[in-house]
Structure 1
C-alpha cells in the first residue's frame, strides 16, 4: 500500500494541471505487465523456499520487506527524475521482492479448501477485469467528479491503513482477528482499491508526462498487487472457519 503516500501530491498537482501525459497510461501498461511476470517468478521462488526450507522463509521474508520499502522510494525518486536506465532494474528487483513477500499468502491460499489455484486465478482475473472497466470510467471522469472520488478514496485508504496496523499489532500479541472482521477488512480493501484503480486512470495523465511512464507504471502495479491481495484475503476468509 505504498502508493497511498502519493495521493496528496497527486491531488495537489491535478488541481492545477490539465492533461499533461495523454499517452502515459498506454506507455506504462507493458511495464506493469512485465512487473507482474517478475512478481510471479518471485512468488514461485518464495513457495520453493517455504516447501524446502520453511525455517529460512520467515527471516528472509522480513528482510525482503525492508529491502522492498527502501527500493520503492529509491526507484520512485529515480523514475520521476527520468533516469529510466537506472529505474528499470530497480523496479524489476522491487517486483521480484514483492513476489517473494506475496508467497506466504499464496501458500495459505493453496492450502485453503475452496480457494486453491482456482481462487488465485479468480483474484488475478478480477484484477484484470477491474482495470479494463476502471480505464473506461477513470479516463472519462470530469474534473469535479475525479477530484471528489480521489479525496474520498484518500480518506478511505487512511482508515484502512489504521485498521491494518491495529490488526498487525493485535496479531503480534497473539490476538487474532475473528473471521467476520477479516471478511469486513478484506471487503473494504477490495472496495477501496477498485476505487484507486479508477483514480489512477484519472490522476496519472494529469500528473506524469508521456516520458514519465515508469512512475506511472509503479503506481498501477501497486494498485493491481494490493487489489489482488485483498481479493485473495477475502476468498480465504470466506472459505476459512474460526
Structure 2
C-alpha cells in the first residue's frame, strides 16, 4: 500500500503504530474471542480501557487530584452549549476571548443561555492576530478562549492573565502537542479527532470544584456531575473511539510525553 501524507485537520492522521495495534486486536481483543467493538461498556475489559485513558491523559498533562477526565460525545460543538448551560447562571456574566471561527461559535451558543461579554476580539482584523488587550468583566463566571484556531491559524503561545476567574479552553487542535501548565485551567475540552484519536469522543478535563458548581436543574445528560459520578459510563460511550484515544495516549507516553512532541 502506498501511504499518503494526510494534512486533514480532523479527522486527522493517526500514528501508524496505533493503527497497527488496533488492527491486530480488532477481531480478538486480549483473547476474549470478540472485538472491542462488540464489548459491553460495563465489562471489566472496557472499564480498564476507560480508566487507563483517564489516568494517561491526566499524567500527560501533569495533573493529579482535584481534576477529572471525562469522555463525552457531541464534539467541541456540544461543549459550546454544555459549558454555559452548566456554569452561566442567571445574573452572571461569562467572558469570551474571540480569535477565530470556533471562538465565535462558542460565543454564539453562550449568548443563547445568558449574558456573554466579549473581553477581546480580533474579528475586525480578520482574525489574523491575537488581541493586544483584554477587558474582563468585574467578576466573570468564567473566561473562555480557543487555544488554536485551525481556520485562521492563530494560536496562543502564552496564555492571557485572567486573574482568579475560571479559565476554560477549547484545545481541540493543539491538545498534547506541547508542554503546558494545565493547572491554570478550570476546564479543557477537545474533540479527539484533531489531535488525540478518531471522531466520536470528546475529552473533557475539569476541576472537581467546578463540577460541583454546575446547575442541578438540567437534564441528566447535560450535566457534568452525571458523567463524573458514573466515570463517563452514564450511557453507552463511544467505546472504540475511547479505545483508540487510549492507544494514542500510550504512544505519546512511550515517546517521552509532551516534551518529545
**Which one has more relative contact order, counting CA pairs under 8 Å at least 6 apart?**
1
Q: Which has the higher helix share?
A: 1
Q: Do they fold alike, i.e. is TM over 0.5?
A: no
TM-score range (shorter-chain normalised) is under 0.3
TM-score normalised to the size of structure 1? 0.27
More strand by share: 2
Q: What TM-score results when the alignment is normalised by the length of structure 2?
A: 0.26
